[in-house]
């Protein structure tokens, strides 16, 4: 099979702690026809110095402009017929580029990969939970609602003709939703978004409990803000999955039934019924927890997903809804 020339585009912002590991993994690839374009988004650490140690093209932005602009500038300066966007805290497997080439050579114009089920470097419970969860959500079906920029391959000509990643006054440059908006824009033009589960990158999370919950709150806030505008709040879409949305609903239903038992004397067993539905809806996710790390991890991950994670997700949804209403009111006033 002919090797397409692939441009690996890596935006970075204060990423010196992970960028070397990312670049080492790319240059250890068993694929030969590629280049690496690193766009340093006005980092205040040693990211640029790290990039200079590797045979990549380094583009430095004088002012912080966000990942959308950095990726677009990387694409403008790329020479490849295929663009592969990854993040500076991602670790490519040796065959990632080869698998991207295979997918793009088989007629795909846009193809996405996913996280490895188990993250690299034994990062602990909360990082493993996140990696398994994202891997499961992104690989449930071959045709995706969106493809995340931790591993997004696209025909270079298609990327340029569609205008690249959007940055506007509603989205802002820190919302982490530019890949969702771009994917939806592609789909509206008839482009099919394909997920190839064999294309995988490891992700360096290093999550503590606080880090995991902060990430859940932040992602939920921005997803709610975006999806209210897009009118698809309840869509089963990647990490904003049906399982997660049912989970949050069942958490609050169970909580309300427990409160009813304490205040009104209703039967306490009623509070178990929502979680029985939750177990059924999330059965394949729970199976993924088990496959990744065994029974003990699956039990702990399920308890965390059912009884702790929904608190942060719902808090993010409330904040996102409030921001949406505030922005709508400001638009009316202006």
pLDDT in tens, 67-104: 999 999 999 999 999 999 999 999 999 999 999 999 99
* pTM for the structure as a whole: 0.93
Reported as a single tens digit per residue, the pLDDT across 7-20 is 999 999 999 999 99
Q: At what angle do helices 295-307 and 125-138 cross, to 10 degrees?
A: 80
Considering the chain, tell me which residue range(s) the CATH 3.90.550.10 domain(s) occupy.
Answer: 6-207
d(CA 53, CA 66): 24
By three-state DSSP, how is residue 90 classified? strand
Burial class (CB in 10 A: 0-12, 13-18, 19+), 82: buried
**Residue keyed to tokens 């380094």:** 58
What pLDDT digit, counting tens, does each position of 196-220 carry? 999 999 999 999 999 999 999 999 9
Task: Answer whether residue 174 shows pLDDT above 70.
Answer: no
pLDDT of amino acid 133? 98
Q: Name the class of domain 6-207.
A: alpha beta
187 and 201 Cβ atoms separated by less than 8 Å: no
* 3-class secondary structure, 41: strand
Share of the chain above pLDDT 70, in %: 96
The helix/strand/coil state of 111 is strand
Between CA 170 and CA 297 the distance in angstroms is 40
According to the model, what pLDDT value does residue 168 have? 56
């Amino acid at each position: 099979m002919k090797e397409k020339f692939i441009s690996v585009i890596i935006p970075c912002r204060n990423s010196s702690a992970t960028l070397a590991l990312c670049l080492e993994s790319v240059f250890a690839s068993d694929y030969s026809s590629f280049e690496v374009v690193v766009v340093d988004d006005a980092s205040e650490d040693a990211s640029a110095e790290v990039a200079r140690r590797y045979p990549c093209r380094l583009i430095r932005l004088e002012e912080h402009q966000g990942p959308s602009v950095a990726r677009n500038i990387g694409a403008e300066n790329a020479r490849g017929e295929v663009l592969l966007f990854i993040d500076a805290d991602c670790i490519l497997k040796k065959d990632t580029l080869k698998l991207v080439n295979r997918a793009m050579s088989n007629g795909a114009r846009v193809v996405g990969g996913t996280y490895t089920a188990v993250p690299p470097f034994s990062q602990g419970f909360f990082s493993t939970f996140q990696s398994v969860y994202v891997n499961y959500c992104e690989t449930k079906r071959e045709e995706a609602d969106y493809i995340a920029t931790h591993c997004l391959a696209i025909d270079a000509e298609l990327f340029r003709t569609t205008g690249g990643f959007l940055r506007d006054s509603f989205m802002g440059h820190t919302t982490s939703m530019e890949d969702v908006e771009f994917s939806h824009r592609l789909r509206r033009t008839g482009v099919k978004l394909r997920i190839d589960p064999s294309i995988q990158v490891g992700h360096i999370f290093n999550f503590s409990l606080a880090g995991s919950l902060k990430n859940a709150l932040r992602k939920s806030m921005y997803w709610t803000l975006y999806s209210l505008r897009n009118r698809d709040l309840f869509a089963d879409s990647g990490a904003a999955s049906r399982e997660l949305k049912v989970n949050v609903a069942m958490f609050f239903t169970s909580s309300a039934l427990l409160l009813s038992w304490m205040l009104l004397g209703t039967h306490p067993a009623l509070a178990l019924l929502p979680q029985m539905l939750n177990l059924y809806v999330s059965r394949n996710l729970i199976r993924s927890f088990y496959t990744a790390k065994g029974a003990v991890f699956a039990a702990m991950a399920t308890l965390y997903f059912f009884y702790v994670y929904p608190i942060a997700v719902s808090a993010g949804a409330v904040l996102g809804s409030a921001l949406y209403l505030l922005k709508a009111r400001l638009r009316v006033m202006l």
